Amino acid sequence: MRLTEERIKSITGAIGSAKILVLGDIMIDRYLYGSVSRISPEAPVPVVDIQRETIALGGAANVAANIASLGDIPILVSVVGADSSADTFKMALAESSIGAESLVSDSSRQTTMKTRVIGESQQIVRADREDRHEISAQIESRILESVTTLLDDVKALIISDYGKGVITKTLLKEVITRANSKGVFIAVDPKETHFMNYSNVSVITPNHHEASFAVGRRITSEKVLLEVGAELMERLRLESLLITRGKDGMTLFESVSGSESSKATSDSQIHTNFPTVARRVFDVTGAGDTVIASFVSAVSAGATLKEATIVSNCAAGITIGELGAATVSCEALMQELHQS
């Protein structure tokens, strides 16, 4: 399935005006790049002579960065620590033209930072500094109050759950209920251990490993894939489900009714497969963030779910060809859509 020239122009032309609320776990991705010429005398490990350092937005912040790169307006709601890393994070947000007004500071936890040491274009080690305990009831209340106020002025809500403690079961239930009451499109990038809490949302975007974990069945064939998708759609009462499948592309499941049910995987669902458009795979870091951000931006611009899947498939194809978590501009996306 391809988009016509008219639809490419219509969808990409409409991207750039939507406010999209992003709720979830944020992190800083720190990269130390260097060369390797010797082995340490202290242990059998390479010594990396660091030559440069970069800071990038990760987790829910990378989702927001992808939305901003496409031209839409992300509103990021999350928790940071009361530490110097929070200052670093806010500066990185400013560089991506993302506001920090809706961040909540929590002195009981540190701002998540993941440091990757890269030697000769190869990741040598990753060191994480983070807390994974759930936020307190007080912090949860502050987040819910902020989200409730913001829902009146956004086109969509993305919940980016990295399992670092921000997305609690109580908060999730309240946010979904309130967003649904206002007719806001709800997209979830799930954490596999929280899967059964994401009911009654517009779309969930797991990879095939996460979907397999959620139902306790490894996806080994097209038949199993359809059974897993149908089970998740039914158990979570979803409007749609987008399973990303790596080199095998993506599969979109949609709720249907009436005459469309003749094409359904069950009486109420249809599925569509989308082959990958990636020309090379260099680094899949952050690919899920790109998928959900571009999917929601496309839907906010008037795309159907199938059209939004094509858009997100092309966007992911661009980012996995880059080292680290990358973002996609609307211009690059338009060019990729024309070529795919």
Q: What is the pLDDT of residues 208-245, one digit of tens each?
A: 999 999 999 999 999 999 999 999 999 999 999 999 99
What is the rounded CA–CA span in Å between residue 105 and residue 135? 11
- pLDDT beyond 70 at 262: no
Three-state secondary-structure class, residue 236: helix
Mean per-residue pLDDT for 138-160?
Answer: 97
Nearest to 230 by CA among 257, 190, 267: 267
Pick the catalytic residue from 29, 72, 161, 289.
289
- Starting at the earlier edge strand, list the strands of the sheet with 240-244: 103-106, 73-81, 19-24, 156-160, 185-189, 203-204, 240-244, 250-255, 269-274
User: How is the chain split into domains, by residue range?
Assistant: 5-26+59-108+131-202+277-339
Contact 34, 48 (CB under 8 A): yes
Indicate the pTM of the whole model. Answer: 0.92
* Mean pLDDT in residue range 159-185: 97
Is residue 15 very low, low, confident or very high in pLDDT (cuts 50, 70, 90)? Answer: very high
- What are the tens digits of pLDDT across the range 75-92? 999 999 999 999 999 999
Q: What are the residues whose beta carbons fall under 8 Å from the beta carbon of 62, sequence distance 6 or more?
A: 29, 56, 286, 289, 325, 327
Return the H-helix or E-strand segment holding 287: helix 287-300
CA 81 – CA 77 distance, rounded (Å): 14
CATH number of 5-26+59-108+131-202+277-339: 3.40.1190.20
pLDDT of residue 96: 95
Given this model, what pLDDT does residue 282 score?
A: 42
pLDDT of residue 150: 98
The whole-chain average pLDDT of the chain stands at 91
Q: Which DSSP symbol is given to 266?
A: B
pLDDT tens-digit series, residues 266-316: 557 799 999 887 555 444 455 889 999 999 999 999 999 999 999 999 998
167-178 pLDDT, tens digit per residue, is 999 999 999 999
Residue 271 pLDDT = 93
Catalytic site includes residue 153: no
